[in-house]
Amino acid sequence: MPDTLNKKNTLDQKESLQPKMVTVEIEGKPFQVPAGITLIKALWYAGQDVIRGVGCLGGFCGACATYYRTKDDPKVKTCLACSMAVEDGMSFSFMPAFPARKATYNLLELKDPKQDLFTLYPEAPLCRNCNACTEACPQHIDVREGVWKAVFGDFKAVSEMFMDCVMCGMCAPVCIADIAPNLVALYASRAQGVHFTEKPEGLATRIQEITDGRFQQEWDRILKLSDEELQNTTAATT
Amino acid sequence: MELTDQRNLVHQTRDARRSKSFPKLSPAERDSLIKKHHPDHRAHAYRPIIFGPNAGQSTVTEVATLLEGESPVPADLDLTPAYSVDVLVVGGGGAGCASALHAHAQGANVLLATKLRLGDSNSVMAQGGMQIAVASDDSPVQHFLDTLKGGHMKNDHQLLKVMVEEGPSIAKWLLELGVLFDRDADGNLHVKKGGGSSKARLLTCSDYTGLEIMRVLKDEVLNKKIPLLEFVAAVELLSDAKGACTGAVLKDLDNNRFIVVAAKTVILATGGIGRLHIQGFPTSNHFGATGDALVLAYRLGVPLVQIDTFQYHPSGGVYPEQLVGALVTEGIRSEGGHLVNAKGERFVNELDTRDVVSSSIIRECEEGRGVRTPSGRVGVWLDTPLLDVEHGPGTLDKHFPAMVRQYERYQVDIRKDPVLIYPTLHYQNGGVKIDVNGETPVANLFVAGEASGGLHGRNRLMGNSLLDLMVFGKRTGTLAAERSKSLPKSSLTLDHLKRFRAEAKRHHVSAGIISPMVLPAYTNK
């Protein structure tokens, strides 16, 4: 029997850290941490309390936006610290909260959302094509292209391109035109949903059916049943 | 055997597995499997709660200890309020944002406090979708029945009926806010099939459903200029002479100062318990999932329901090490991905309910049919490449971009190779007792979302959580706002805490644990 099939499998799977240690620099200070752990875990391992900078720990909330550099490479890159493993010689720091301006708006009241973009975010058309935003995106979105699509009114494309956007905001500090591309894209995506997407007919029908009490008879029948009967019944369709 | 050889077995057995279907278990077989292998049935992990509203009832040690814990608030705290509001919402996830928006829409003066940033939550991670009976061959009644069967018939019928019936209007609300649900060619909402459901009922935004909903709700909270306190946790509630809830004591995590809030109504929307690592399990939950509402409500005298049952999601990562506990979306199984043991065999119908699938994975591993990782963990295979084989190349890229990316970061290509998974602590099935409006037995205290209990019975169905958040966020926010209009200003006291402390003393409980936990202690000291 191969050792993978032995019986010593327990439920309690405590984290087993690899014994190999690496040296990393956290905010300029060197620490020895186990190889292969995430940047967030390296911070904890190094004894640092983290409150700002940790969120979902699953790569979805953008709280742990981080700058890092690998050994001997001058290029500073971006990542989500919960989703990146440490390696020897790596140097990293959390991105501080960046005071980008978010426009406020009532989407339903907007008459011409594609034009209104220029009132809400007048800086959006000032993109100078430096592409720094795209390079800064840890989600590999073509951010620069997205800004131009928004400016040219192709909100549908923007909404598709930015479905992966975790709103970490790393595209904003690098912009020489003071655009916050993630916020521009969020506006365009929401406007796409509110103003330029078909209303689903089936949904309206279903809501009407519920309002009209179309399911009342079924409810009356079902709610009288015992657990055992409920187990074996299915609902009639309308 | 090397992991690569083990992996090859999955490739070699794929075609043979494709030609066979795996039957679902009968209710009796399910019960017996769960009793034998589900972590909820490990007696040694449980103990009775010593005092308080649920005295004598059993729950996991981790939860019992927190419920009996000591409040960080000194008895002589100056209760002069820094804020006086109609509605205080605690929590910035899906339920918190929804309740704040609905309360605001009713004209109430709302304050939203969250211990992380607005939106940092489990909601943002929900990948699988949101169950709403919108398809023409489906009905809210069938949604009700499926959920009930999934919950082992233990769901509160009234709460459940409200949720399934309000689902379609919630979809409409979200569409009006600009949420981009996937569509069919005819413009109707696209529905996917989820584990434990008899009909395709999951509304999705590719595999970013929670992220898309949360981006929109967060943006709307900011557009409405609802006052926000970020990095501020609730650590105690306040009550008046009659025992009704009248506000809360918050703690600013940046400067450790207490902030007293007088609130005519309080809505707790603080989510679940994954970060308690019950029974040592890794978790899929966000950093702040420490069950704060359970503790706060319990000290104010509110009973908890079904607090002995937790959901261990079948597919948590076990390899690579960085993904331990992280969720691997259920969508893979919904679209036909097989679970495969070390012998290259399927062992469960992958679309059975989460508790059944998890129990079967644990059984395979306990009985020696699991696969060991280099760091000594054990799991089973989830055959991801099968999806591209079954539905055509590009299926994973198109439907599961988040998961492709999640593994790519660690040089694992899920299009080419299967991944190793093991159950991860995912959800608190029970919680604070509420009525159909989300109100607790203590007047003017509301609870919405995962922190509440009763709706999901002993096992929540996939896709019902996002709907729960939106429905009960709406109901609590709306009612709390209306209620606050007729409520006079009331007194702020810690009388309930005095009683709680006296009871702890009477029962000789001095655990030395401060609760709520607020954040887990992961830092090496």
- For residue A29, is pLDDT > 90? yes
- Using alpha carbons only, give the angle B294, B299, B305 rounded to the nearest 5 degrees: 40
User: How far is the C-alpha of B171 from the C-alpha of B236, rounded, in Å?
Assistant: 35
- Beta partners for residue B517, in sequence order: none
CB A198 within 8 Å of CB A222: no
- Using alpha carbons only, give the angle B497, B500, B501 rounded to the nearest 5 degrees: 85
**What domains appear along chain A, each with residue ranges and CATH number?**
17-94 (3.10.20.30), 107-195 (1.10.1060.10), 201-230 (no CATH)
Phi-psi region of B346 (alpha: psi -120 to 50; beta: other; left: phi over 0): beta
> What is the per-residue pLDDT for A109?
95
* Tens digit of each residue's pLDDT (9 = 90 or more) over B247-260: 999 999 999 999 99
Per-residue confidence band for A237, with pLDDT thresholds at 50, 70 and 90: low
* CB within 8 Å: B522 and A222: no
Other beta carbons less than 10 A from residue A199's beta carbon: 11
* Tens digit of each residue's pLDDT (9 = 90 or more) over A56-108: 999 999 999 999 999 999 999 999 999 999 999 999 999 998 999 999 999 99
* CB within 8 Å: A190 and B376: no
User: How far is the C-alpha of B24 from the C-alpha of B350, rounded, in Å?
Assistant: 9
- What mean pLDDT value characterizes chain A? 91
Q: Which residue of A has its CA nearest to B375?
A: A16
- For residue A11, is pLDDT > 50? no
- Beta partners for residue B452, in sequence order: B432
B32: Cβ contacts below 8 Å, ≥ 6 apart: none
Per-residue confidence band for A2, with pLDDT thresholds at 50, 70 and 90: very low
A96: Cβ contacts below 8 Å, ≥ 6 apart: none
Percent helix / strand / coil, chain B, rounded to 5: 35, 20, 45
State the nearest Cα–Cα gap between A128 and chain B, in angstroms: 27
* CB within 8 Å: B280 and A12: yes
Taking the model in full, what pTM does it have?
0.95
A146: Cβ contacts below 8 Å, ≥ 6 apart: A157, A158, A161, A162, A181, A184, A185
* CB within 8 Å: B321 and A49: no
* Tens digit of each residue's pLDDT (9 = 90 or more) over A134-179: 999 999 999 999 999 999 999 999 999 999 999 999 999 999 999 9
> What is the per-residue pLDDT for B356?
94
CA distances from A213 to A133, A206, B162 (A): 52, 11, 14
User: How far is the C-alpha of A86 from the C-alpha of A80, rounded, in Å?
Assistant: 12
CB B289 within 8 Å of CB B271: yes
Contacts of A204 in chain B (CB under 8 A): 172
Q: With 0-12 CB in 10 A as exposed, 13-18 as middle and 19+ as buried, what is A146?
A: buried
State the nearest Cα–Cα gap between A50 and chain B, in angstroms: 8
User: How far is the C-alpha of A163 from the C-alpha of A142, rounded, in Å?
Assistant: 12
Question: Which residue matches tokens 């009930």?
Answer: B148
B419: Cβ contacts below 8 Å, ≥ 6 apart: B317, B319, B328, B381, B382, B384, B407, B412
Tell me, yes or no, if A58 comes closer than 8 A to chain B by beta carbon.
yes
User: How far is the C-alpha of B300 from the C-alpha of B82, rounded, in Å?
Assistant: 22
* CB within 8 Å: B177 and A194: yes
Give domain limits for chain B.
Answer: 3-37+311-425, 83-309+429-499
Nearest to B322 among A13, A36, A222 (CB): A36
Q: Which residue of B has its CA nearest to A207?
A: B168
> What is the per-residue pLDDT for B102?
98
Residue from B201, B101, B91 nearest B146 by CA = B201
Q: With 0-12 CB in 10 A as exposed, 13-18 as middle and 19+ as buried, what is A75?
A: exposed
User: How far is the C-alpha of B215 from the C-alpha of B179, rounded, in Å?
Assistant: 9
* CB within 8 Å: B287 and A15: no
Nearest to A163 among B42, B205, B216 (CB): B205
Residue from B76, B375, B153, B239 nearest A37 by CA = B375
User: How far is the C-alpha of A33 from the C-alpha of A45, rounded, in Å?
Assistant: 7
Is 3.30.70.980 the CATH number for B3-37+311-425?
no
Q: Chains A, B: CB contacts under 8 A, how many?
A: 252
State the nearest Cα–Cα gap between B20 and chain A, in angstroms: 25
CB B201 within 8 Å of CB B343: no
CA distances from B7 to A94, A126, B14, B486 (A): 37, 51, 11, 65
Burial A111-124 (b: 16+ CB within 10 A, else e): eebbebbeebbeeb
Nearest to B120 among A41, A55, A235 (CB): A55
Of the residues B14, B299, B333, B456, only one is catalytic, namely B333
Residue from A150, A202, A141 nearest B175 by CA = A202
Whether B338 is catalytic: no
From the options 3.40.50.880, 3.50.50.60, 3.40.50.1820, 3.20.20.210, give the CATH code of B83-309+429-499.
3.50.50.60
> What is the per-residue pLDDT for A13?
47
Residue from A62, A140, A5, A34 nearest B321 by CA = A34
Residue from B125, B148, B431, B489 nearest B296 by CA = B431
Dihedrals phi, psi of B383, to nearest 5 degrees: -80, 85
Nearest to A197 among B145, B180, B324 (CB): B180
Please give the span between the terminal C-alpha atoms of chain A, in angstroms, as a whole number: 56
CA distances from B369 to A19, B36, B52, B217, B320 (A): 27, 16, 44, 44, 20
**pLDDT by position in tens, chain B (length 525):** 678 888 999 999 999 999 888 898 988 999 999 999 999 999 999 999 999 999 999 999 999 999 999 999 999 999 999 999 999 999 999 999 999 999 999 999 999 999 999 999 999 999 889 999 999 999 999 999 999 999 999 999 999 999 999 999 999 999 999 999 999 999 999 999 888 899 999 999 998 999 999 999 999 999 999 999 999 999 999 999 999 999 999 999 999 999 999 999 999 999 999 999 999 999 999 999 999 999 999 999 999 999 999 999 999 999 988 899 998 988 899 889 999 999 999 999 998 889 999 999 999 999 999 999 888 899 999 999 999 999 999 999 998 988 998 898 888 999 999 999 999 999 999 999 999 999 999 999 999 999 999 999 999 999 999 999 999 999 999 999 999 999 998 999 999 999 999 999 999 887 679 999 999 999 987
DSSP, collapsed to helix, strand or coil, labels residue B263 as strand
* CB within 8 Å: B175 and A200: yes
CB A211 within 8 Å of CB B199: no
